Amino acid sequence: MKNTYRIIGDTVEILLRSKKYGNFLTNISLGDLEKVNQFKGSWYLWHREGDGYYVKGNINVNNKKTTIFLHRYIFDLPSVEIHIDHIDHNGLNNTRGNLREVNHFENSQNRTGAYSTSKSGQRGVAYSKLHDKYESYININYIKYSLGLFKTVEEASEMASIARAVFMTHATDDQNICIYYKEDKGSKLIFRHGVMGSGKTDNLLKLSHIYKRLKKNICLLTPHIDNRFGDGLIKSRSGWESKAEIIYPDTDVSSIITKSGSEVIFIDEVNFLTMNQIKQISYLLEFKKLKIYCYGLLKDFKNDFFASSLELLRCADQIQEIKSNCSYCENVASRILKIKNGTPVYKGDQVEIGAEDLYRSVCISHYHNPPSKDVG
């Protein structure tokens, strides 16, 4: 190639001179330098409004001048049916780690913002004049699914973003935003844990809502001991709620799941299940085509593991901590502090339902030394 370049570690910077736009730099991986250097002409900057900046060059094919993109040249892809996706949306970042082969549908997943014709200004959101609300939606395999109507564009946009993070494997921006919904490909048993107030139940209810809107047969389960909002009712602090099947200590969970005929299972407060029930779930997955989401606490206020949660750590395909800040500072909350009658409590029964006001989600420092305003 005729461009000036310099090697920086395992990447190469190539200078692109443009009278119209000025000088730009594009990056490639060092391993691709030999191939790119064989290019006989100059690489130049290409820009089109709404498409961003990319790198092009001219080659001769059968004595005919043909234009090719640098990212396609690196992958040696003549077929237009195969696309090369820039993961970070930067067409000047042509390093291997930022490029991936995709089909048309996968390529369309990884885009930013709404279409220019969108009246809401948000991707996956349309204003419904009839209902005076915002409709959230997602397109999967060219089928449009409505995710419901919401009062604000922000609520509708969040729902669409969550759905894309889960069901669009190449929606990079949404997966980076909705990190606590992103899944490992092929996971069948997912355990999401966090301290009190971290948003576990909110996660469960929003995700189960999306599955239901996508016409999936789902089943929600909750242990009988957690009846804070009524028997068989799962409710989050943000106001989301749903009825659920009740699990008792002697309940055969595998039997409930099998009878429901559901393909996606959501279990709240899984830390209150028995060890045998966790084993039933794990065993069932060996014979059924299911996806099971489990949500709950990992440890109690004594910083001891719940037995069922510990078992899930052993058998889950994906384990994810939903993080939140300490009640007293900006550090990550990693423990649950119990304060009763102005005194920190580190011993006693593991479970005390209906006493949420006694607990604080805190960092390790405030676990051992809570502020004086809460103790006396």
Which amino acid would we find at residue 258?
T
Closest CA to 225 of 257, 268, 194: 268
Cα separation of 308 and 189, whole Å? 14
- Burial, 358: exposed, middle or buried (Cβ in 10 Å; 0-12, 13-18, 19+)? middle
DSSP state, 297? Answer: -
Give residue-wise pLDDT tens across range 15-33: 998 888 888 999 999 999 9
Rounded to 5 degrees, φ, ψ at 268 are: -95, 155
DSSP codes, 118-183: -SSSSTTEEEETTTTEEEEEEEETTEEEEEEEESSHHHHHHHHHHHHHHH-TT-HHHHHHSTTT--
The per-residue pLDDT for 235 is 92
Coil, helix or strand for 6? strand
DSSP state, 263? Answer: S
Give residue-wise pLDDT tens across range 106-134: 778 777 776 666 777 888 899 988 989 99
Residues labelled as active-site residues: 269
Contact 311, 294 (CB under 8 A): no
Cα separation of 43 and 16, whole Å? 7
pTM of the predicted protein model: 0.85
When pLDDT is averaged across residues 169-177 and rounded to a whole number, the result is: 89
pLDDT of 78 above 70:
no
Token pair of 253 as six digits: 């969970």
DSSP state, 187? Answer: -
Superfamily for 189-321? Answer: P-loop containing nucleotide triphosphate hydrolases (3.40.50.300)
Token pair of 143 as six digits: 């089928």
User: Domain locations in the chain?
Assistant: 5-102, 115-177, 189-321
Token pair of 1 as six digits: 């190639």
- Measured over the CA atoms of residue 234, residue 239, residue 240 and residue 241, the dihedral's sign is positive
Burial 283-321 (b: 16+ CB within 10 A, else e): ebbeeeebbbbbbbbbbbbeeeebebbebbeeebebbbe
Cα separation of 60 and 70, whole Å? 15
Q: What is the CATH number of domain 5-102?
A: 3.90.75
Contact 164, 209 (CB under 8 A): no
Check if CATH label 3.30.730 holds for domain 115-177: yes
Give residue-wise pLDDT tens across range 37-72: 988 889 999 887 767 889 998 877 777 888 889 998
pLDDT band at 83; cut points 50, 70, 90: confident
Mean pLDDT for the chain overall: 90
The per-residue pLDDT for 121 is 81
pLDDT band at 141; cut points 50, 70, 90: confident
What are the contacts of 115-123 at 24+ separation with CB within 8 A?
116/50, 120/153, 120/156, 120/157, 121/153, 122/153, 122/156, 122/157, 122/160, 123/157, 123/160, 123/161
